[in-house]
Chains A and B, each alone.
Chain A
Amino acid sequence: MRIESKQAFEEAVKAATALNEKRTREIMVCCGTGCLANGSQAVADAFAQRIGDLGLDVKLSLHAKTTGCHGFCERGPLVVLKPEGILYTKVKPRDVDEILEKTVGNGEIIPRLLYRNPENRQPIEKYEEIPFYKHQVRVSMRNIGRIDPASLDDALAHGAYAGMARALFELTPEQVIAEVRESGLRGRGGAGFSTARKWDATRKAVGERKFVLCNGDEGDPGAFKDRSIMEGDPHAVIEGMVIGAYAIGAREGYVYVRDEYPLAVHHMNLAIEKAKERGLLGKNILGTGFDFDLKVSRGGGAFVCGESSALMRSIEGKIGEPRAKYIHASDRGLFDLPTALNNVETWSVVGQILNQGGAWFASMGTKKSKGTKSFSLVGKVKNTGLIELPMGTTLRHIIFDIGGGILKNRPFKAVQTGGPSGGCLPADKLDLPVDYEVLSENGSMMGSGGMIVMDDRTCMVDVARYFLNFLIDESCGKCIPCREGLKQMLHIFDDLVEGRGKPGDIERIERLCKGMQLGSLCELGKSAPNPVLSTLQYFRDEYEAHINDKVCPAGMCRELTTYKINHDPCTGCHMCTRVCPTDAISGKPKEKHAIDQQLCISCGSCFDVCPEEQCIVFLPKKDIGGAHATAGN
């Protein structure tokens, strides 16, 4: 039934809430992309089937639903049981009967399925008590993992569209912009431009039609916050876009989602369809007379289409290439008409800002960066996944308290923030508060919110090379500095990691970086040197070791590194022989092992599995000397 007045909206929310309250026991199975890959659909199906077998009176109070990403992907499939908030991890379909019988039936906990604190192996029952969740403050992700993204009623019961209702029923467009201005919201796509200023400029621009766009072309390696929002709470994005369209005076909008995110595309489309059915989108929204039509536009997977002007060309059906932006999109954007483009995360907090007030949002964060920010925490940390925190949280808190520290308790070396446009920050920057300004001042950036943690076994030259290698395929190739510059930069880096570095390479790199920064057409090329420059800034000694000594201090560059087994600590456990891909390790179980340098390809697999201290060690290839040094050439 279409909702066509303020009263009808309030009643719809009340009805949805009442239905939810009847469900005294809820079983929430994470069906985000990460958990799905671990087989959570089978778990969800098993729950649905078992509950279906039960009597009707039980079914009314017991409800199993699939939700978006709970964030703690590495422990998936995740199942949360309400009302207690018990979290079961790595749940298999065969555990379903036991959960229904013991926990649902008798209130009994199943210790085997609980999360254990990696420090002391103590099980933790409730999900709010797990360090990974305990420290988080969720605004953009407030409903992810709590609602069934396919159910509009569930979203309504959890506060969706309340901010939109307030904006449409109570505020003028100018007042909406004023509220957003008070919140201090800045673009969550990475650049951090003031959202209110962007909207204001688009509102004031002259054009017969205006557009609002949502950038869901998230493509940075290791980043997946936008995907999780679109998958887990698509209504938050729709709500924000309706509010933005109302503020700007736009009647049309597009959500640009990369096609590699099939679940996000599916859930966005489903949510748009349901919102239209109920009068929350489309013609005459909530009976206010405001029309706004929203469509999903699927991207073909070009990274550069996340750049605003390229994204607009792509929606227009042209080749997704950036163009000069001396005339702002707020004046001439999509189809050369006034356009406001914001990131998924930006749109997803707008509803909450309107619902809870700009002052509430501005009460979180730092002086210039307000509110909360989502990050995809990945790499060599114990707890990887999706997190949301107030701006200004320190890197140390994120990596050590939420992330649980470095895997295998190895030393922390650096954290890469902001994806291929960002940079690496070393250990002495761990106490920096994370906000737009601080990250930029220190040679990195907020970017997409990707956060890749690295331990001492990470070669920083190789990290820079990794990002160059990524970008060389993703540059559109329109301008010379980006296209040819990346190619030449990669040539230099290939030389460095393969032991052909020569004096003057660092200066050549710096000169080329400068040319790319100043000369490139769009931000992809202008920021492509960032991973190189930040690693040079903080880890120059590693570059010098590669060039001058032909040594990779982290022992990761294969051409420069070799492995050796020290006889004393070797217990003959045979683990290394099992993983060696070239059968280069000889030795019988319980006897001392040795590596045949002629066969060894320096992959490091043996080093990673060896349980003994100082048993397998890596050393510079040149130190082995003689025939060994040239092994493999």
Chain B
Amino acid sequence: MPRLVIDGKTVVAKEGTFLLQAAREAGIDIPTLCEHPAVEPYGGCRMCLVDVTRPEWDGWSKMVVSCLFPVEDGIIVSTKSERVMNTRRVVIDLLLARCPNTPLVQKMAAEYGIEKTSYVQNPEPTDCILCGLCTRVCDEMGTSAISSSSRGAGREIAPPFNEPPPDCIGCLACAEICPTGFIKYETSNSKRVIWNKEFEMLRCPTCGRGHITKAQAAWHDGKVPGRYFEQCDACKRKAQAAMAVTLMGGSQIR
């Protein structure tokens, strides 16, 4: 197993893991904005930059994003070197100019000593930090209903042609993974609206709660046992518990 040194601490990492994971498992914190355990690493936010060197490199080091850098035996990692901190400061300062009112960004900027951006503030502040978590989780769901559109400064997250996305199943994965609450939706027991697309809810026959969209149930059809989505999770758990109690001899359920 690769042995490496992170901020002076010797760490034994699992083969095939990335540096970020190895550092976190060793209790060393590295900031991230686009990382999430549910999806593949992306390398977009650049906050997890670290310095990597080897004794034989004679003082030369390279900067890498730890979320995508595979651990190697014998490397020496510095997560808080001066240039790492300076670069992160530039990055979060730039992001603060784009998202001046977003608490997540404000908080991280404050950790780097920035209260107000030193750049020109976005005249149309947004909460979207373009971390790509929503599009990646949508891809991994297998639906790929939303995506990034346009390039460069005009980049945004959008459904195709900014119309209600035909492939969206209303699962809310994008909204739930969004770290800033930028993706808005409305949901009730009868209907749900996200990305301007309206969904009919499947209601739990036991409690009457609308717990999943019919489109999502149809999407999972055949991938999960027959009537899996008929009841909501809460009622399913209750029924299972009741059955367990019955099997164990029938004492009371509270």
Known contacts: A474-B151, A477-B151, A479-B46. The answer to whether A326 contacts B69 by CB under 8 A is yes
Q: Which residues of A contact B148 (CB under 8 A)?
A: 319, 477-478
Known contacts: A488-B97, A488-B119. The answer to whether A519 contacts B152 by CB under 8 A is no
Q: Which of A504-527 contact B (CB under 8 A)?
A: 508, 511-512, 514-516, 518-521
Q: Which of A300-327 contact B (CB under 8 A)?
A: 302, 304, 319, 323-324, 326-327
Q: Which residues of A contact B86 (CB under 8 A)?
A: 514-515
Q: Which residues of A contact B153 (CB under 8 A)?
A: 472-473, 475, 477, 483-484, 486-487
Q: Which residues of A contact B152 (CB under 8 A)?
A: 471-477, 483, 486
Nearest to B132 among chain A residues (CB) is A478
Q: Which of A168-205 contact B (CB under 8 A)?
A: none
Q: Does B183 contact A (CB under 8 A)?
A: no
Is A519 touching B91 in the complex (CB atoms < 8 A)?
yes
Proximity string of chain B (11-35) to chain A, C-beta cutoff 8 Å, 1 when within and 0 when not: 0000000000000000000000000
Contact of A508 among B43, B91, B97, B118 (CB under 8 A): B118
Known contacts: A477-B154, A477-B155. The answer to whether A511 contacts B68 by CB under 8 A is no
Proximity string of chain B (65-101) to chain A, C-beta cutoff 8 Å, 1 when within and 0 when not: 1001110000000000001001111110011011000
Q: Which residues of A contact B193 (CB under 8 A)?
A: none
Q: Does B147 contact A (CB under 8 A)?
A: yes
Contact of B91 among A472, A511, A515 (CB under 8 A): A515
Nearest to A489 among chain B residues (CB) is B119
Q: Which residues of B contact A515 (CB under 8 A)?
A: 86-87, 89-91, 94
Assign chain A's interface to a size class: 35 or more
Q: Does A480 contact B (CB under 8 A)?
A: yes
Assign chain B's interface to a size class: 35 or more
Known contacts: A491-B119, A519-B46, A521-B43. The answer to whether A480 contacts B95 by CB under 8 A is yes
Is A476 touching B119 in the complex (CB atoms < 8 A)?
no
Is A326 touching B64 in the complex (CB atoms < 8 A)?
yes
Is A484 touching B151 in the complex (CB atoms < 8 A)?
no
Q: Does A485 contact B (CB under 8 A)?
A: yes
B contacts with A: majority SS: mixed
Is B94 touching A518 in the complex (CB atoms < 8 A)?
no
B24 CB to nearest A CB, Å? 18
Nearest to A322 among chain B residues (CB) is B43
Is B91 touching A483 in the complex (CB atoms < 8 A)?
no
Q: Does B49 contact A (CB under 8 A)?
A: yes
Q: Which residues of B contact A478 (CB under 8 A)?
A: 44, 130, 132, 148, 155
Q: Which residues of B contact A485 (CB under 8 A)?
A: 90, 94
A474 to B152, CA, bound (A): 6
A87 to B49, CA, bound (A): 58
Q: Does A338 contact B (CB under 8 A)?
A: no
Proximity string of chain B (44-55) to chain A, C-beta cutoff 8 Å, 1 when within and 0 when not: 111001000000
Nearest to B70 among chain A residues (CB) is A326
Q: Which residues of B contact A302 (CB under 8 A)?
A: 151
Q: Which of B129-147 contact A (CB under 8 A)?
A: 130, 132, 147
Is A476 touching B151 in the complex (CB atoms < 8 A)?
yes
Known contacts: A327-B70, A476-B152, A477-B148. The answer to whether A521 contacts B44 by CB under 8 A is yes
Q: Does B251 contact A (CB under 8 A)?
A: no
Q: Which residues of B contact A518 (CB under 8 A)?
A: 49, 63, 83, 87
Q: Which residues of A contact B132 (CB under 8 A)?
A: 478
Q: Which residues of A contact B94 (CB under 8 A)?
A: 480-481, 484-485, 488, 515
A326 to B66, CA, bound (A): 11
Q: Which residues of A contact B151 (CB under 8 A)?
A: 302, 304, 473-477
Q: Which residues of B contact A473 (CB under 8 A)?
A: 151-154
A473 to B150, CA, bound (A): 9
A428 CB to nearest B CB, Å? 30
Proximity string of chain A (322-334) to chain B, C-beta cutoff 8 Å, 1 when within and 0 when not: 0110110000000
Q: Does B224 contact A (CB under 8 A)?
A: no
Interface centre among B43, B44, B87, B152 (most CB of A within 10 A): B152
- Chain B contacts to A: CB under 8 angstroms: 43-46, 49, 63-65, 68-70, 83, 86-91, 94-95, 97-98, 118-120, 130, 132, 147-148, 150-155
Kindly list the 6 A-B residue pairs having the minimum CB-CB distance in the complex, ordered from nearest.
Answer: A515-B90, A477-B155, A484-B94, A475-B152, A324-B68, A488-B119
Can you offer 14 A-B residue contacts whose CB atoms are under 8 A? A319-B148, A327-B70, A472-B152, A472-B153, A473-B154, A477-B153, A479-B43, A480-B94, A484-B98, A484-B119, A488-B94, A511-B90, A514-B87, A518-B49
